[in-house]
């Protein structure tokens, strides 16, 4: 029998987040993607949990999951992440470069890049994001 999903409460000083804990974490539905960002799939098909946000709002750590979809995103910051489950194909719109991500992979996305995400199967990641500008309305 598996343990029920739970909300992770990081310590203010130190948190050790195992893959098993991140996979078991309860994720909240996030607002729908903007229609112009969705190239295919469900506008409402993603969820997440922000585990930490710096006092100035510019740096965050969280868990994000998305059902199969095709999205395009202009990166407002720099992201690094660790794939917990699923598969995705990422394409840099400017260069055409393609990378494939799957469970166990670590990745880095540079500030300002326009990236097309094709989520091939439900995809969950732990992410860290730094954004030079942050508006208090952002949910991730």
**123 DSSP assignment:** E
For the whole model, what pTM was predicted? 0.87
CB 85 within 8 A of CB 103: yes
Q: Which domains does the chain have, with CATH numbers?
A: 37-131 (2.60.120.10)
pLDDT tens string, the chain, 140 residues long: the values are 445 555 555 555 667 788 999 999 999 999 988 899 999 988 788 999 999 888 888 899 999 999 999 999 888 789 999 999 999 999 999 999 999 999 999 999 988 899 999 999 999 999 999 988 777 666 66
| Cα–Cα nearest to 79, from 95, 96, 94, 101 | 101
């Amino acid at each position: 029998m598996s343990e029920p999903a739970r909300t992770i409460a990081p310590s203010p000083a130190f948190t050790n987040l195992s893959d098993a804990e991140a996979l078991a974490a309860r994720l909240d539905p996030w607002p729908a993607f903007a229609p112009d960002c969705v190239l295919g799939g469900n506008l409402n098909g993603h969820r997440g949990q922000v585990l930490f946000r710096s006092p100035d709002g510019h740096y965050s750590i969280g868990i994000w999951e998305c059902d199969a979809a095709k999205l395009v995103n202009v990166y407002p910051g720099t992201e690094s992440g660790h794939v917990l489950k699923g598969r995705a194909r990422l394409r840099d719109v400017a260069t055409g470069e393609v990378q494939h991500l799957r469970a166990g992979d670590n990745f880095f996305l540079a500030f300002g890049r326009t990236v097309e995400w094709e989520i091939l199967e439900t995809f969950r990641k732990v992410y860290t994001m730094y954004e030079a500008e942050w508006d208090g309305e952002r949910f991730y």
